[in-house]
Structure 1
Amino acid sequence: MHIDSLVELDRRAVRASAEVVRRVTPADLIRPTPCGDWDLAALLAHMTGQHRGFAAAAAGRGDDLAAWRPVLAADPVAAHLAAADQVLTAFAAPGLDRRRFTLPEITRAPDFPATQAIGFHLVDYVVHGWDVATALGLDTPPLDDAVLAAALRIARAVPDGSERLAPGAAFAPAHQVPAGTATFDEILLLLGRRPGPA
């Protein structure tokens, strides 16, 4: 897939997740999420840090571990929305297809082509948008078929090895995918989530 198309799909995934985050109130921050022991405050801190980290990686500074730290902000919603704008701006920079991204949380390679790194970011925000919606008791964020098709290709390629059992792993071990499973649900199952009504 051409990088411009992938950047646009990622933008749509990020915007959909951001619209769900806008619904979060201070009282919601203690809600449990599908992400292990994280409450909603911890999930938002992680998501905000990831946006900032990917933005740094797009600018050639992905090896700066400080850029990836969870962001514990006084206003976590505003911090998240600002970080979402930051990463989308970074991904829109000219010449991105010629860059390689250092992603310190993924240790199987020293760096990654831009298209692969942006693909990681895309699938992360498809899933995290669902995580936030589930914590809030909301419907799944609306994502078009092109976004879901791209996310499914990436989810099918994510290794399902012992690294998923390590502390802080991005995804839990995959669940079995029954025949006829809807695309969004298959993405969630492949990445260790249990889809169901919010």
Structure 2
Amino acid sequence: MIFDKTVLLPLGVDDAFALVTEPARLRRWQTVAARVDLKVGGEYRWTITPGHHASGTFTEVEPGKRVVFTWGWEQPGAPADNMSTVSVTFEPADGGTQVRLVHDGLPTLEAVAAHAEGWNHYLDRLLAEASTGDAGADEWAAAPQDLTELTAADATLAILQRVLRGVTPADLDQATPCSDFNVAQLLDHLAASVGNIGKALGATVKDDAGKSPEERIADLAQPTLEAFAHRGLEGPVDMGFAQLPATMVASILNLEFLVHAWDFSRALGRDLAVADELTDYVEVLAQQTISDQVRAGGSFAAPAPVGESASSLDRLVAFTGRAVSA
């Protein structure tokens, strides 16, 4: 059974091909995180929405013309026969490039309907990204239905990455709510924290400070979260300085992603929109993670005062010691 749809992108074929195959472009319209080895026999893994990971192998790659890859869902409960094939072809046309996506080998009508809903959603976002340069935040990634430390980490990463896309070289010297860090220093802190967690999980991570802020953090977070998804949340993680419960390490990632997204937003003078369900959940993780002993070590200040009518996000950042009225 097949899903087949064509859209006209107002781009040349090379730019259209890049939007469909390059991780930095995929994150703008389809994925939260993406790993791509774009060659025949190369593998990919995409976090489509928090907790939902598609992976497979490229079987055909013709730059600017065609790409074909196997498609399967990783998460527990996915049917054994869930492997199918996606082909995307690119044809020059008046006004841009015709992009035809064919998803073949879907096992049931229900699978066709489910994948059609997904592809229609993402092809609309692809067209928006190609037309305006900004597909906007993906509401499907905003508030996962089944929140765990790992699905929340995917969701908070999506928020952070969108904020970081707006950071320019001119912003790097701006002060942040973290009194010890300007934007550049906070990026270094965040990169070191995510990278250290990735290494503790056995992931291969490399920090490239020459990349854009969004690409730098995304390229550290993707292998870290992939390693965590494969490892699971049972038992301790050896962080070098201590053995910490895996749930606590995942909670730390949530705080790093979401609270620093707020820090960067404040530094840039922008508002940050986050679903209350997600901030409520991360606030619980913060309460379980930030003990008096942790505060005494200097990582967090005492909780800041916050009004009874404060938003869920304001309550979270106040608990980490930040002045929400600043």
For normalisation by structure 1, the TM-score amounts to 0.78
Partner of 1:43: 186
* Counterpart position of 1:173: 302
Q: Which residue of 2 aligns with 1:149?
A: 280
1:101 and 2:230 aligned: no
Q: Higher strand fraction: Structure 1 or Structure 2?
A: 2
In the alignment, is residue 24 of structure 1 matched against residue 156 of structure 2? no
C-alpha contact (below 8 Å) 2:301/2:321 kept by paired residues: yes
1:155 Cα deviation after fit: 2.3
SS of the residue corresponding to residue 197 of structure 2 reads: helix
Over the aligned positions, Cα root-mean-square deviation in angstroms equals 2.6
State how far apart, in whole Å, the 2-side matches of 1:19 and 1:40 are: 15
The answer on whether the counterparts of 1:18 and 1:84 sit within 8 Å (CA) in structure 2 is no
CA 1:116–1:57 in 2, change beyond 3 Å: closer, same or farther? same
Match of 1:87 in 2: 224
Residues 1-198 of structure 1 mapped to structure 2, 5 A cutoff:
5-59=148-202, 73-77=209-213, 78-93=215-230, 95-104=231-240, 110-140=242-272, 142-157=273-288, 158-161=290-293, 163-164=294-295, 166=297, 169-196=298-325
Q: Which moved more, 1:26-35 or 1:82-91?
A: 82-91
Counting matched residue pairs gives: 179
Assess, with a 3 A threshold, how the Cα gap between structure 1 residues 136 and 193 changes in structure 2: closer, same or farther: same
1:196: Cα distance to partner?
3.3
Q: Which has the higher relative contact order, 1 or 2, with Cα contacts under 8 A spaced 6 or more apart?
A: 1
Q: Return the letter of the residue paired with 2:227.
A: A
Q: Contact 1:97/1:115 (CA < 8 Å) preserved in 2?
A: yes
**Partners of 2:147 and 2:226 in 1: CA distance:** 13
Q: Percent identity?
A: 25
Kindly state the Cα deviation for residue 37 of structure 1 after the two structures are TM-superposed.
2.5
Q: Which structure's CA Rg is the greater one?
A: 2
Contact 1:32-1:38 within 8 A present in 2 as well: yes
Distance across 2 between alignment mates of 1:171 and 1:146? 24
**Higher share of residues assigned helix:** 1
Q: Secondary structure at the match of 1:101?
A: strand
Shift of 1:60: 8.5
Structure 2: distance between partners of 1:101 and 1:4: 21
Alignment check: 8 A CA contact 1:44 1:76 kept: no
The aligned amino acid for 2:244 is: F
- Tell me the CA shift for residue 111 of structure 1: 1.3
Q: 5+ residue gaps in structure 1?
A: 62-66
Q: Determine the structure 1 residue equivalent to 2:131.
A: none
CA deviation after TM superposition for structure 1 residue 82, in Å: 1.0
Q: 2: CA distance between counterparts of 1:112 and 1:129?
A: 24
Deviations 1:93-133 (A, max 9, x none): 1x4233421335xx6xx312212210121122211000011
Q: How far is 1:165 from its partner?
A: 5.3
- In structure 2, what residue type is equivalent to 1:49? A
**What is the CA deviation profile of residues 25-50 of structure 1, one whole-angstrom value per residue up to 9, with x for unaligned ones?**
11111111111121100001111111
2:224 match: secondary structure: helix
Query: How far off is 1:5 after superposition?
Result: 2.7
Gaps of at least 5 residues in structure 2 are: 1-145
The alpha-carbon deviation at position 178 of structure 1 amounts to 3.3
CA distance in 2, matches of 1:147, 1:12: 8
